[in-house]
Structure 1
Amino acid sequence: MTIDWIRVRERVAALAASPRAAEVFGGHSHRFELEPVLTPDELAEAEAQFGVTLPEDYRGFLLHAGRGGAGPSYGIFPLRRGRDGWHWEGDGADLASLARLREPFPVQGPDPAALDALLAERPEEEDFEDVDAFDVAYEAWDERLAGLLWNEDRTVGAVCLCHHGCATREWLVVSGPERGTIWSDDRVDEVDLRPRGERTTFGRWYLEWLAEAEERVRAPAR
């Protein structure tokens, strides 16, 4: 699917001018503003640093729509150059290991049976006579859960691009067989990452959000 990202930028600007733009979830945060685009040289520099070629529709977004800004929920994390090189900025963007983006994203996460077994072992405060003993037990259990769900190996080959609030996020896979697809991250709710729909690409994800936002501002006022 070829996307006219310049036209997309125009549609986003039209949303910003709508008197009902604030009714779109997250609009108060990004205000339907897209940051300046990257130049081809800037994008080439970033990709050389990461050792990957970013998915084509996301590259188109960066080059013709914006380096970040308006988008699903609280917006697309911008790709910026800092003192230590290129990086994404946003709530959870630092969860991505930029040095490991060339490694294949692991489609299969932790063994579901192992996760279920660990969740069943969650310490309950009423089972402890001493609150300090409960705290020690819970902290040890929580560390085991973090090692299963939140270890860096789980998200190699992907970048965190968006957050929905309450520590739920979306990732874009940039390496491996799922390259180009969006994965939802609800690990805060003690579930593993999962693909968003059936091979939902960045472009499809963004255009679906844009169409829903346009429908929202056109709908009859309640």
Structure 2
Amino acid sequence: MLMTDQQWAGIRQRVEALGTSPASNDVFGALGHTWVLEQPLSHAELAELEAQMKVTLPEDFRTFLLCVGAGGAGPAYGVFPVRRVQGRWRWEGDGAQLADLSRLAEPFPEQGPDPQLLEELAAQCPEEEDFDEIEEFDDAIEAWDERWDAVMFNPDRTVGAIVISHRGCALRNWLVISGEHRGTIWTDDRADEADLAPLRSEDGTPMTFARWYTDWLRRAERTALDAI
């Protein structure tokens, strides 16, 4: 779904109206973003942001920033706002720092660590019965966790993408900025023993930023209406 300036028309007003509904807090995440939208970016601010990042953002995200807001109320606990801090632009939110903003122009890679490496690591996972002392087992598990995290959370796996929202319990969503998957939303459930994966629409197509946001808004409106 490619969103032009005109297609975003009225979206900000719908979000703001929803925030005044007596049932607005029944929408998941509402207590986090409190229905507040940042002010939209100006064309000059967007140009400065893209120049600093050395990328052109996906078109539907660009027009969202210009027409709806620079972040705020949105899916889960909201869309991470992008702000200029001491002359530099950055996204802010729980986990936003996981994205390497200096590497946004690099293509987001095909996902999945080397299966053989994962199999070898899994086979090395300590078993409590192999240790005489619980402290020794705890130390071995901690060391193994560090090796596992070094593979699963390798920053090379998320180049070309930004963290766009937080879903709670260290579960997040990424927006791909560069590469074959540009403009799509990926779920990050690595904290829950699952991997990065493309978010898909009901018809199986990859979820774009615009589809992700407008689907959320329609569901939120239904939730608030049903609760009245």
Q: TM-score, normalised by structure 1?
A: 0.94
The reply to whether residue 118 of structure 1 matches residue 121 of structure 2 is yes
Distance 1:200 1:142, change over 3 A: same
Shift of 1:132: 2.4
The reply to whether residue 135 of structure 1 matches residue 142 of structure 2 is no
The reply to whether residue 218 of structure 1 matches residue 225 of structure 2 is yes
1:58-207 paired onto structure 2 within 5 Å? 58-83=61-86, 85-197=88-200, 198-207=205-214
Q: Deviations over 1:90-144 (max 9, x none)?
A: 0000000001111000122203453344335332334322122112211221111
Q: Which residue of 1 aligns with 2:28?
A: 25
Shift of 1:2: 3.0
Secondary structure in 2 aligned to 1:80?
strand
Secondary structure in 2 aligned to 1:219?
helix
Following the alignment from structure 2 to structure 1, what is the Cα–Cα distance between the partners of residues 223 and 152?
35
Q: How many residue pairs end up in the alignment?
A: 221
Check conservation: 1:110, 1:192, Cα contact below 8 A: no
Distance 1:51 1:117, change over 3 A: same
C-alpha RMSD of the superposition: 1.5
Q: Which runs of 5+ in 2 are unaligned?
A: none
Q: Which runs of 5+ in 1 are unaligned?
A: none
Following the alignment from structure 2 to structure 1, what is the Cα–Cα distance between the partners of residues 222 and 149?
39
| Percent identical residues | 55
Q: Which residue of 2 aligns with 1:53?
A: 56
Check conservation: 2:111, 2:196, Cα contact below 8 A: no
Following the alignment from structure 2 to structure 1, what is the Cα–Cα distance between the partners of residues 17 and 214?
15
Q: Which residue of 2 aligns with 1:2?
A: 3
Q: Which residue of 1 aligns with 2:38?
A: 35
**34-43 or 138-147, which moves further after superposition?**
138-147
Following the alignment from structure 2 to structure 1, what is the Cα–Cα distance between the partners of residues 171 and 150?
18
Which letter does structure 1 place at the counterpart of 2:199? R
Check conservation: 2:3, 2:59, Cα contact below 8 A: no
Following the alignment from structure 1 to structure 2, what is the Cα–Cα distance between the partners of residues 108 and 174?
15
Q: TM-score, normalised by structure 2?
A: 0.92
